[in-house]
Amino acid sequence: MPQKIIYKDLSYDIVKAAFEVHNHLGPGLLEKLYERALIIELLARGYKIEQQKAIVAKYKDQIIGKHVLDLIVNDCIILELKAVTEVLPIHKQQALSYLKATGLELALVINFGASRVQSHRVVNTKKN
């Protein structure tokens, strides 16, 4: 049985927005500049955006620090933005740890640092 793609339309439109930003700005800028441009693009498409949201990191129910999420779109998809030459496994693991901490199901790791936008879906299969 085929697996259902969660938030298919929304995630597709987010990636389209990232391509729009990259087509205008190109590679080589700081991550923060892509983030600001992507926020403008996503707001223009009517999405709700939370920016730089802090969430607690815990060890055995004790708070040990915080994570800061780049963006959350429509209260359901975490965007972890990068401006690096390539996305590494640690970047995907970082997104997964954010999903586990929030209980959300989907994160997109979006990299603006390459010649083309790269997007990777990270799914929390053990949703809280």
Residue 70 DSSP SS3 = strand
Q: Are 80 and 51 in contact (CB under 8 A)?
A: no
pLDDT at 1: 53
Domains of the chain: 8-123 (3.40.1350)
The residue written with tokens 């709700």 in the block is 48
Q: pTM score, two decimals?
A: 0.92
Distance separating alpha carbons of residues 83 and 36, to the nearest angstrom: 13
pLDDT at 5: 86
Q: Are 120 and 92 in contact (CB under 8 A)?
A: yes
For residue 124, which amino acid is it? N
Average pLDDT over residues 9-34: 97
Q: Helices 31-44 and 8-25, interaxial angle, to 10°?
A: 120
Average pLDDT over residues 109-113: 97
Sheet of 118-123, strand order: 49-59, 62-73, 77-82, 106-111, 118-123
Q: Are 50 and 78 in contact (CB under 8 A)?
A: no
Rounded percentage of the chain residues whose pLDDT exceeds 70: 96
Residue 78 CB coordination number (10 Å): 27
